[in-house]
Amino acid sequence: MKTTPLTENLIQLTRLRFVNAYLVREDDGLTLVDTTTRGSADALIAAASAAGAPIRRVALTHGHGDHVGSVDALKERLGDSAEVLMPELDARIHAGEKVVDGKLPGSWPTLKTCPDQVLRAGDRVGSLEVIATPGHSPGHVAFRDTRDNSVIAGDTYTTYGKAAVSNHFYWRFPLAAMATWDKAKDLESARTLRGLEPSLLAVGHGRAIRQPAAAMDAAIARAGR
């Protein structure tokens, strides 16, 4: 697990050079945003230890396997000391409910863990504000740190080479578009995130971008073509 400090409150954790999770520093410990793929629990806990605080919450941007892959193993190791928070619609999909018509792309592995709390637009997770960004998955959310306006955008954008909206195929990371449920909503969510004027854009796949306005504008322009 590669560790990249981004701000005083935000640490990027990268597994297999392809998928990111994040540690967000709070007064009572750490919020882990996403868990990467299966088999990452020990490395995520070790990264939290290295950051000097316990994981208090595991907050998920969406329900796809490359983000929830280590939730069960983390819950087993952390028990009641950490709560699991998942966007409402994606939690209902994981619970077996049919919440959308038609085919649901992306991987939806079976989870043992029921979230302790579901996330809705406007909720707070410590310092993070929940931003509804449906499209890549039905319930997809982003997290805005109210302290410095950095944004953890999940898979609405990827940033391999340059920022790209996951509503269309981009040769550097075609998996993102293949897993996207509703391309129009995804683009609308990309615009929502741009409207937040983030100071930093952190994503599920790729590097973080500081002062990302121009990169996001260019990505939205390419995506809308």
157: Cβ contacts below 8 Å, ≥ 6 apart = 163, 164, 165, 166, 190, 193, 201, 203, 216, 219
Say whether residue 204 binds Zn ion (CB under 5 A).
yes
| Segments in the chain forming alpha helices (H) | 41-51, 65-68, 71-78, 88-94, 174-178, 183-195, 213-223
Tell me whether residue 123 or residue 155 sits nearer to Zn ion (CB atom).
Answer: 155
Of 66, 123, 182, 186, the one binding Zn ion (CB under 5 A) is 66
- Which window, 48-56, 74-82, 191-199, 204-212, contacts Zn ion (CB under 5 A)? 204-212
- How would you list the strands of the sheet with 124-125, edge to edge? 124-125, 128-132, 141-145, 150-152, 200-202, 209-210
- Which window, 24-32, 50-58, 71-79, 203-211, contacts Zn ion (CB under 5 A)? 203-211
Q: How far is the CB of 20 from Zn ion (least distance, A)?
A: 9
- Which window, 1-9, 53-61, 95-103, 151-159, contacts Zn ion (CB under 5 A)? 151-159
Tell me whether residue 87 or residue 204 sits nearer to Zn ion (CB atom).
Answer: 204
Tell me whether residue 126 or residue 204 sits nearer to Zn ion (CB atom).
Answer: 204
Say whether residue 139 binds Zn ion (CB under 5 A).
no
- How would you list the strands of the sheet with 29-33, edge to edge? 2-5, 10-15, 19-26, 29-33, 55-59, 83-87, 117-119
Site string for Zn ion, 35-54 (x = CB under 5 A): --------------------
Helix axes 183-195, 213-223, angle to 10 degrees: 160
Say whether residue 155 binds Zn ion (CB under 5 A).
yes
Say whether residue 182 binds Zn ion (CB under 5 A).
no
CB atoms inside a 10 Å sphere around CB 27:
8
Q: How far is the CB of 172 from Zn ion (least distance, A)?
A: 14
Tell me whether residue 29 or residue 69 sits nearer to Zn ion (CB atom).
Answer: 69
Q: Which residues bind Zn ion (CB under 5 A)?
A: 66, 155, 204
